[in-house]
Amino acid sequence: MKQRMKRLPALVAAAAASLVLLPSSAQAQTSGDHAGTLAALKTFQAAAGPGAAINAGDATNSYSLAVGTGTINANLPILPTDHFRIGSQTKTLTATAVLQLVDEGKVVLDTPIETYLPGVVDGNGYHGDTITVRQLLQHSSGIPANDPPNPQASPDGTYTLAALVRDGLGHPPASAPGTTFAYSNTNYEILGLLIERITGLPVRQVITNRIIEPLDLTGTSFPAAGDRTVPTPAVHGYHGIRIGIFNLWTDLGTALEPSIYSTSGAMISTLRDVTAFDQALMGGRLLSPATLAEMKKTVAVGGGLSYGLGVAAHTLPCGGAAWGHDGIVNGYYSETLVTEDGRHASVVTNAHLATNAPIAQMYNLLDTALCEATP
């Protein structure tokens, strides 16, 4: 999530770096007059990666804006159908799959995880009979952040969910279960094991069968372990720093092994698809009204943000709240927010900055786009 929660670690590849001077006149694609949003997008991109884009609108219309480039040394603005790694936006899909099992009576939110995964959350101060499914979903399990992760790799260089969980539980509890919000990827890796145990299927297949295919999210995928590619058309992801008007970018290419994040952050999507997913979720197409209401029961985490079950509520300056999740992962920083009346904004930039992530600029951009569309 954000710095006010806990950012995903960046795994920096040893690749050739390029010194790039971006043109001062940003390029944009737009339908209609969205001058305020475009100005906010330019401000965001000036502190972010080589390129940035937003897909936004209301319940009936969408538009896209892009500045900079999705590939350095080229004039390729990021389009709403370009693929990128969505990082922790994956958590909302994982949570949705768990809550669908709740709807089916196969999982109970306030049941201890020990009931479903005997012996998995045990030792080093952990007791699976004291940590519930709800606490894992809401990051109140007491399991701390595991940043950077250091799981035992399989012989082929990939990682199993079991290895990720063992690595995460190698850190002692940060607090007693149910007492404190502490953002942790390990919570969602345990939930991945839960999904697999209940369904008997690989979690990537479950999310594909239950969410991606029914919503016809053709630009969305849960990569198999070992598949380090981003489908074309792809937004290139970079790691780097900004020094005045100069930018030192390292193309991360295929550096990320997606199975190191799995159900906490491995998925790939597009601006258009993540918007469609969040709208379907908040519109009641994926969960029953009662279970969606449970998902939206939040705890405050500061800065106008509160966290539910795999989804956050962001307070808007124009009133009300927008729901969604952000994602920070190798080469990308993104977030999608939707409101209950259908307004939406999904943003991406193609860099994981070494310092000074543009969090404030991103929220100003999202606020501007969502409040511009206020009825």
Is the distance from CB of 278 to CB of 93 less than 8 angstroms? no
Sign of the Cα torsion 281, 283, 289, 294 reads positive
CA angle in degrees (0–180, nearest 5) for 108-264-136: 30
Token digits of residue 247: 């930018």
User: Bridge-partner residues for 307, per DSSP?
Assistant: 299, 312
Q: How many domains does the chain have?
A: 1
Residue listed under structure tokens 């940003």:
26
Helical packing angle, 90-103 and 271-282, nearest 10°: 30
One-letter amino acid identity for 143? I
Per-residue model confidence (pLDDT) at position 32: 61
Per-residue model confidence (pLDDT) at position 375: 66
Catalytic member of 88, 141, 262, 334: 88
> Which positions ≥6 away from 167 have C-beta within 8 Å?
146, 149, 150, 151, 152, 186
Is the distance from CB of 47 to CB of 356 less than 8 angstroms? yes
Residue 46: CB atoms within 10 A of its CB come to: 17
Output the domain CATH number for residue 290.
3.40.710.10
Peptide bond into 233 cis (omega under 30): yes
Domain span holding position 346: 1-375
Helix and strand totals (H; E) in the chain? 9, 16
DSSP-H helix ranges across 47-152: 90-103, 133-137
Per-residue model confidence (pLDDT) at position 312: 98
Peptide bond into 80 cis (omega under 30): no
| Rounded Cα gap, residues 239 and 222, in angstroms | 23
Using alpha carbons, list the distances in angstroms from residue 281 to 23, 134, 213, 291, 343. 39, 18, 14, 11, 14
Using alpha carbons, list the distances in angstroms from residue 60 to 146, 153, 276, 341, 370. 41, 47, 12, 10, 14
Q: Model-level pTM?
A: 0.92
Per-residue model confidence (pLDDT) at position 16: 26
Lay out the sheet containing 246-251: strands in order across: 17-20, 246-251, 238-243, 351-353
Look up 334 and say whether it is catalytic.
Answer: no
Is the distance from CB of 366 to CB of 337 less than 8 angstroms? yes
| Rounded Cα gap, residues 306 and 14, in angstroms | 37
Q: For the chain, which residues score pLDDT lower than 50?
A: 1-31
